[in-house]
Amino acid sequence: MKLNSPINALMAFMLLGMICGCETLDSEKNKKEPSYVLTINEIVKHPRAKEIEKEVPTYSGKTIFVNTNAFLHSRNIQEIEMIPSTEKKGFFDLEFRLDYHGKNIWMQLSVNHAYTEVAFLIDGVFYRSVRPDKISTEEDDLVYLRGPFDPVTAKSLKENAAFNYKYFNGEPKDR
């Protein structure tokens, strides 16, 4: 068999293309982007600072202004559990497992905004306003967020929480 034969050269290029193509497809699958990234931001009633306040869309088609410095971000939420809502049948409240930094932020957030509401954004779109509940004990890393959240949104937040946490923080080093 001659290596310089046109048919052999074509076969070699096809084989090389298939090998490279398979690796390219695998690497594209592994580069999943985060989705259902949630942030909790301060609602701005009267915007004055162009640099840190921005207008964000709502799911109803309107817009509101929020402070771009998020209090809490998906990078602080290790996992999310769905708790059936007592207010609305078929809807859910959420329970977050926070990392150390997220727990400290939540303690400040729940004190500073105990009587006001903050914006709950999903992928940069205003979903609803929420009032953060206080953490029951200082050692507790679970926080409860009253909804009600619709089942599709709650399930999507739950399913993406662990991936988003790893995406923003990397793999845990002490495991």
Give phi and psi for 90, each to the nearest 5. 85, -5
Q: What is the dihedral of CA 57, 63, 68, 69, to 10 degrees?
A: -100
- Which residues does residue 53 pair with via DSSP β-bridges, in sequence order? 67
pLDDT digits (tens, 9 = 90+) for 56-91: 999 888 999 999 998 999 999 999 999 999 888 999
For residue 148, is the peptide bond before it cis, meaning its omega torsion is within 30 degrees of 0?
Answer: yes
pLDDT digits (tens, 9 = 90+) for 94-111: 999 999 999 989 988 888
- Which residues does residue 118 pair with via DSSP β-bridges, in sequence order? 130
Q: How far is Cα 53 from Cα 62, in angstroms, rounded to an integer? A: 16
- Confidence (pLDDT) at 164: 94
Enter the pTM of the model.
0.75
